[in-house]
Structure 1
Amino acid sequence: MRVAIVSESFFPSVNGVANSVRHVVEQLVALGHEPLVVTPGPGPDHHRGVPVVRVRSLGLPRYRDFPVALPDRAVESALVEFRPDVVHLASPFVIGAAGLRAARRLGVPTVAIYQTDVAGFARQYGVRADLLVDRWVARLHRRVDRTLVPSTASFDQLNALGVDDLHLWRRGVSLDLFDPSRRDAARHATLSRGGRDVLVGYVGRLAPEKQVRRLAEICRIPGVRLVVVGDGPERRWLGDHLPGAHFTGQLQGDHLATAFATLDVFVHPGTSETFCQTVQEAQASGVPVVAAAAGGPLDLVDHGRTGLLFEPRDEHSLWRSVVALARDAELRARLACAGREAVASRSWHAVVEELVDEHYRVVAHRPRAIA
């Protein structure tokens, strides 16, 4: 199949949307399909041999590494030239809206991936436009042929906004990269003061929407050393308020996998995650997880079996969860083992096969009328 992916973000940006699209592109090629990427922002015009059309963009204040598309006829021109069998809209909002309009005019079927809670994202930056944002997101998803959601929480959210033809499609995890064998015993010994401390870590963007300031609660736990992997606008605040924490900066590839596997406990404090990819990556790395009982983690963490869920409205719940794991090595080992088993079949290859066979092909064979 010829698949045009219109994405709000793509490599070299590092975020959930860009990373997911990169994996989808690579697996489509491996499966013998022909993808094209249309995306805003500067960057290479090919990714592993796949053409990438770059449209005009501007950077958001405090979020410069997430460029936003400007009105550009290049979107429709790219689709006309490529002649796709299906248009894949990755987290559609701005360029996704342009891609949807073009696809409808050309009579090309569309599959939209809901991935970002834009209203929740905006609230964390002090922008109160929930009603307008939700109306716009709902309008886009009501006009596509099929919407794929990553979690039951996302399904319920869009369903309440009047979006139908919703299907659950979870993201994959790089099982060849994230693995317990990546654990670095020497590094662990150094960071944990010879094993006297339990290494509790966060991996991800250091930004308000991730609610990373709650990591300060963990610094007060005796016998715990906090490890923070990532970068972003909250880095300075965290540096001032997390005494004794170890900051690695942003990591990728083998370095990221080693950082994950070398942790004793992984924590994600955010409550606005539609999925939470880092939970899967921690589980694949053989690390027990503590995550908020909200959004995507509700599907990924079976409380007490594959990890622990804390109640975000209880100001002591996160602290209690981390203390329970820090003090019980046997519990950590049991949750880590079950968590790894839970993601063992979620390779990117498998989930992209599902995407093609159960979603692309279905919409591509429906009768179409040019709109």
Structure 2
Amino acid sequence: MTFGPASLFAAAGAVLFIVLALLTMLQPGRNRLRRALFAVFLVLFSLPLANIVIADSGLALIEPRLLFIGNTLGLAAAPVLYLFARSLAVAGFALRPAAVLHFLPLLIIAGLVAWQFHLQPEAVRIAVATGQASGSWLDAPGFVLVIFAYPLVYLSLTLLLAWRYEKGAQATRSASDGRELRWLAVSLTGLFGSAVLSLAHYAVVHIWPVAGLSWLLMALLMAGSLALGVYFILSAFRSLDTAVPLDSGALSPEKYGEHRLEDAQLTELTAALEAHMAAVRPHLEPELTLEALARELPMTGRELSQVINRAHGLSFYEFVARWRVREAKDRLREDPGLSITMAMHDSGFSSKSSFAKAFRRETGLTPSAWRAERSHTRPRTT
């Protein structure tokens, strides 16, 4: 057996993922289901890497039965990642017996692989391993398409869930803009980029050979995969205890339908909302939610969401942030000695990043630049 750069890199990655899975389960804290799903994902993700080691080192020629096991079982990483994302995003998420349906296509794929490879005579297995076999389903375009389509469906569902989580958080919460799961979208986009590099590397090696380019593409692929893996793992570990799930209704696309307000009612409720915001100043509560504000008015959450969306063209998060920026500007204007941090907290913001972003969106300036500009334009007294 010989171990080249690809097999060494894959072996190191597989061992790292397994160690991280063990650390995830041993780490104290709540959210045990999240941790279990993430640990299972890490183990499953290590299996295709182990398959690379088996194929690249020549071990597959010594024991052909080991080939394809890692790649086949590794397909389950995609639906497990989706379930893990749901544990982060959906309040009250629990695994139910129906969850096994996510893995039914995998059982069919595994059965076909076993039939076409593992149950064949050793001579056939070696021929498949060395690429000398012909007529096998394993090389059929339709079968390969199914294998790629299965994880692609779940990766797409995970992307959609991350997008709906961000929109749902902005529609119902004022303390967060829903970016807690954006790392999932970034990671999956990076994974797509890695797949493109892999296809380019395959084309350069097997179809259009270009001297030196294959090594360059392999180096980019390995460096990019390493950076993506570190980013994904660090972000996932941070989300295990920090991601705040939403009610399942907040993750569904909002469609008013028969509940759409008439124009006269919309105008009336908009005036009531504006008067309430100015008089009671509920935006000073850092954890203000759509339902809490709706109960104060009173109106339903659906009606309040319509008023904010249709009359102001904003999400709930952006609407409350606008009032908080107004509050911060008033405080900074009235008290030149007030620190920007104190103005941020007094206005209802709970993080510097969200305060700076909202302030720049409303004024085009940072809080310190806005204050400096105001001090230059303030009329002097003698």
**What is the TM-score when the length of structure 1 is the normalising length?**
0.23
Q: Identify the structure with the greater strand proportion.
A: 1
Answer with 1 or 2: which has the greater Rg. 2
